[in-house]
């Protein structure tokens, strides 16, 4: 579900768009290095110098060398184009899925891995609409507010990773998803009025899924245990779980039964104090009408 990018052949953007540097300690390093060696092998077999290959691909020579050394994660679009340019017979394209996973930031990969294993997710958001509910336009605008600001390449990488997590809605069997959103998150015009309107419409669409329960916590509810920040509880098929809360346990992920009981207790109270799913949908429709 990565965001498409048609800038592969753009010479002005090549340095930024070819891929991303590996993070220290990234377990994807062996894969990226192997792909880099294969790119070099295919280039040499095609009788192309680095300069020639770089010119055809629309990148600088230094970028190609970084990709071939395996210190830069290539975009999947790069592999597709390189496969055609070098007549690689699909050998480069075969790594498309693996490289697509490696391109997301490590913390996003780790989170997505846990979300993919979960059979139930309980998610409370108090300052922004939850990432699994975000449209690409809303997510891009939101990521653009962070400081220090992301470079264009970093922003695209973060956006692609966030959108990839939304594959959870396509799983079979689907997990049970419970969202509680603070009212303020529905009213803050991140990205402008039209972006917010489309975001609210998207939430109404997602809420129709049989395995999704979406609730709104009214601002008028002055006392509830979500004042410490976001809560996330994931439950797995073997009975284990994982979770975190912004203002507790140092903000770190936890998995002990005692700590999970604390998070589940808080989420249960929040869920009970929030508007019912039916009331919540009516509320979102009301906000949409006011926007």
For 127-182, give the DSSP string. SS--GGG--HHHHHHHHTT-SSPPPHHHHHHHHHHHHHGGGGGG-SSPPEEEEEEE
pTM of the model: 0.72
Q: CB neighbours of 223 closer than 8 A, spacing ≥ 6? A: none
pLDDT for res 4: 32
Give the residue-averaged pLDDT of 237-263.
Answer: 89
Number of alpha carbons in the 13 Å side-chain half-sphere of residue 55: 5
pLDDT over 90, % of the chain: 67
Q: Which is more confidently placed, 290 or 9?
A: 290
Residue 22 has pLDDT above 80, yes or no: no
Separation between Cα atoms, residue 267 and residue 227, nearest integer Å: 11
pLDDT of amino acid 15: 34
**Residue 19 pLDDT grade (very low, low, confident, very high; cuts 50, 70, 90):** low
108: confidence class by pLDDT, cuts 50, 70, 90:
low
How far CA 231 is from CA of 107, 246, 260, in Å, comes to: 17, 7, 11
Sign for the pseudo-dihedral over CA of 188, 284, 201, 224: positive
In this structure, how many other beta carbons lie within 10 angstroms of the beta carbon of residue 262? Answer: 16
**Which of 18, 88, 21 has its CA nearest to residue 48?**
88
**pLDDT interval class at 18 (50, 70, 90):** low
Return the higher-pLDDT residue of 13 and 251.
251
- Bigger pLDDT: 29 or 91? 91
Query: What gap in Å lies between CA 191 and CA 137, rounded to an integer?
Result: 7
Q: How far apart are CA 124 and CA 179, in angstroms?
A: 6
Q: What is the reported pLDDT for 12?
A: 32
Tell me the average pLDDT of the chain: 88
Whether the pLDDT of residue 107 is over 90: the answer is no
Give the pLDDT score at 119.
97
pLDDT of residue 132: 96
The arithmetic mean of pLDDT across residues 103-115, rounded, is 75
Q: Where does residue 217 rank: exposed (0-12), middle (13-18), buried (19+ CB within 10 A)?
A: buried
Output 8 or 108, whichever has higher pLDDT: 108
Give the SS3 label for residue 111: helix
Q: How far apart are CA 203 and CA 188, in angstroms?
A: 15
Give the model's pLDDT for residue 158: 87
How far apart, in whole angstroms, are the C-alpha atoms of residue 246 and residue 134?
20
Mean pLDDT on 129-152 = 94
pLDDT of residue 130: 97
């Amino acid at each position: 579900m990565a965001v498409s990018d048609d800038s592969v052949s753009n010479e002005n953007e090549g340095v930024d768009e070819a891929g991303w540097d590996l993070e220290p300690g990234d377990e994807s390093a062996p894969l990226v290095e192997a792909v880099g060696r294969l790119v070099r092998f295919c280039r040499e077999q095609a009788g192309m110098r680095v300069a020639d290959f770089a010119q055809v691909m629309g990148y600088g020579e230094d970028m190609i060398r970084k990709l071939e050394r395996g210190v830069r994660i290539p975009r999947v679009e790069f592999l597709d184009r390189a496969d055609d340019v070098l007549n690689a017979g699909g050998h480069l394209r075969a790594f498309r899925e693996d490289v697509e996973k490696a391109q997301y930031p490590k913390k996003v990969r780790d989170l997505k891995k846990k979300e993919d294993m979960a059979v139930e997710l309980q998610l409370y958001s108090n300052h922004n609409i939850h990432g699994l509910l975000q449209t690409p336009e809303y997510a891009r605008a939101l990521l653009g507010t962070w400081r220090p600001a992301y470079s264009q390449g970093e922003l695209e990488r973060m956006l692609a990773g966030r959108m990839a997590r939304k594959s959870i809605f396509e799983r079979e069997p689907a997990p049970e998803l419970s969202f509680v959103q603070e009212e303020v998150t529905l009213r803050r015009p991140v990205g402008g009025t039209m972006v917010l309107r489309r975001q609210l419409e998207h939430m109404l669409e997602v809420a129709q899924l049989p395995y999704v329960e979406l609730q709104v916590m009214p601002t008028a509810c002055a006392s509830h245990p979500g004042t410490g920040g976001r809560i996330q509880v994931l439950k797995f098929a073997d009975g284990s779980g994982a979770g975190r809360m912004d203002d507790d346990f140092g903000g770190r992920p936890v998995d002990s039964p005692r700590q999970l009981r604390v998070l589940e207790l808080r989420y249960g109270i929040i869920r009970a104090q929030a508007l019912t799913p039916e009331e919540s949908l009516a509320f979102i429709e009301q906000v949409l009408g006011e926007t």
